[in-house]
């Protein structure tokens, strides 16, 4: 009897896996703003106010603003350095972020209790699909596409790496002659080449590692398989400091998408490109001499992806999601430091991290999600 019961259970599990539709998998990659810089404290304050609380209903458990605020305030009274939050969680959307994995909720960002575009992106995709959704996020702060995410088809040649090493060694020699007490060792072409493409390769490695261990990382996985369904990219800060990287940002980004599609075996993988919006409405496309800024070149390259790839890519501008309440405090008389308590009701970081505004990251993630739904629906 026990053996027969076990056989029936196993048969039922196999049937369930066979009947279930494959998990929809979306890759999210980039640098610090894809890591997620949405601080939870401004969100918690806003939940307690009538003016802003409706922004956050999807973020809080049961949509219960009063219960969320009561728990948060009680935790601060007990230990101001250890706030507690009652976040919502959905078990039909899963997330894996460089060693952390589980159901979609707030807490898959940097800082660890914060969030990035993934939260509302996952909400939108979870609402759209009947199948389970998995978000694999590979993001690291301070990375460029000109070097760190450089993909194979645009990789410099051995001769170019040798020339880079020669130029670098000439600079080090000059430095060493001027500063004999601070000698820099000579480098090699191999050492110069090492960082190029490292995080492109890491993205592939980690994605494959996660997909090979779905059963171990996500209890809701029933062995039904998966489908790589989309890619989201949000990056661009570091490339503005190297003229060659800024000039070729669009070309490197297009090549990276093509290479990624080939390496993952999905030739038409839908992609959403977040067009960087640093400084929001304050950003200037021209410098003091009337020349296009490096940042403007990066934006132009990202926006052009939609045209270059036609119906398989959407470029989403993010400057429109700039948090104007945070901006007014940060740029107001005396700056944010004049009233830091009020400042932390809306932000907690610098403009290159969109002030750490949870409102920015919520809006950007939702826009990325809606753009992806348009792509997968077409």
| pLDDT value, residue 20 | 80
pLDDT-derived band of residue 111, with 50, 70 and 90 as boundaries?
confident
Mean pLDDT of 347-367: 97
pLDDT at residue 250 is higher than 90: yes
| pLDDT value, residue 197 | 98
Q: What is the pLDDT of residues 202-233, one digit of tens each?
A: 999 999 999 999 999 999 999 999 999 999 99
Q: Report the greatest alpha carbon distance in the chain.
A: 86
pLDDT at residue 164 is higher than 80: yes
Residue written as token pair 């790589």: 228
| pLDDT value, residue 2 | 37
Any idea which fold 21-152+196-377 has?
A: Rossmann fold (3.40.50)
Mean pLDDT of 331-338: 92
Sequence-separated contacts (24+) of 195-198 with Cβ below 8 Å: 195/147, 195/148, 196/147, 196/148, 196/150, 196/155, 196/156, 196/161, 197/148, 197/149, 197/150, 197/151, 197/152, 197/155, 198/148
Mean pLDDT of 323-334: 95
pTM: 0.93
pLDDT at residue 277 is higher than 70: yes
pLDDT-derived band of residue 18, with 50, 70 and 90 as boundaries?
low
Residue written as token pair 């000109």: 146
Domain ranges (residues) in the chain = 21-152+196-377, 156-195
């Amino acid at each position: 009897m026990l053996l027969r019961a076990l056989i029936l259970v196993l048969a039922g599990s196999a049937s369930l896996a066979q009947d279930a539709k494959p998990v929809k998998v979306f890759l999210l990659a980039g640098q610090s703003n894809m890591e997620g810089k949405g601080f939870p404290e401004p969100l918690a304050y806003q939940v307690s106010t009538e003016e802003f609380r409706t922004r956050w209903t999807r973020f809080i458990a049961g949509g219960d603003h009063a219960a969320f605020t009561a728990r948060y305030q009680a935790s601060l009274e007990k230990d101001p350095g250890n706030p507690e939050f009652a976040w919502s969680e959905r078990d039909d959307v899963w997330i894996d972020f460089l060693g952390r994995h589980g159901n979609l909720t707030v807490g898959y960002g940097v800082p660890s209790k914060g969030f990035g575009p993934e939260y509302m992106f996952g909400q939108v995709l979870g609402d759209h699909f009947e199948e389970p959704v998995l978000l694999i996020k590979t993001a690291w702060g301070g990375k460029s596409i000109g070097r760190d995410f450089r993909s194979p088809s645009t990789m410099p040649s051995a001769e170019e790496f040798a020339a880079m090493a020669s130029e670098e060694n000439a600079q080090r020699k000059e430095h060493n002659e001027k500063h004999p007490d601070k000698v820099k060792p000579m480098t090699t072409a191999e050492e110069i080449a090492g960082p190029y493409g490292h995080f492109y390769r890491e993205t592939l490695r980690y994605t494959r590692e996660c997909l090979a261990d779905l059963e171990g990382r996500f209890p809701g996985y029933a062995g039904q398989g998966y489908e790589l369904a989309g890619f989201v990219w949000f990056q661009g800060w570091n490339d503005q400091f190297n003229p060659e990287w800024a000039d070729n940002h669009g070309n490197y980004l297009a090549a990276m998408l093509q290479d990624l599609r080939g390496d993952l075996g999905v030739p038409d993988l839908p992609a959403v490109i977040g067009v960087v919006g640093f400084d929001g409405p304050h950003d200037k496309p021209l410098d003091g001499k009337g020349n296009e800024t490096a940042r403007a070149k990066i934006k132009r390259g990202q926006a052009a992806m939609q045209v270059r790839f036609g119906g398989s890519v959407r470029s989403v501008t993010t400057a429109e999601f700039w948090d104007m309440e945070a901006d007014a405090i940060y740029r107001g008389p005396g700056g944010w430091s004049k009233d830091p308590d009020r400042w932390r009701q809306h932000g907690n970081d610098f403009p290159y991290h969109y002030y750490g505004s949870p409102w920015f990251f919520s809006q950007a993630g939702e826009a990325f999600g809606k753009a992806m739904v348009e792509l997968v629906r077409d």
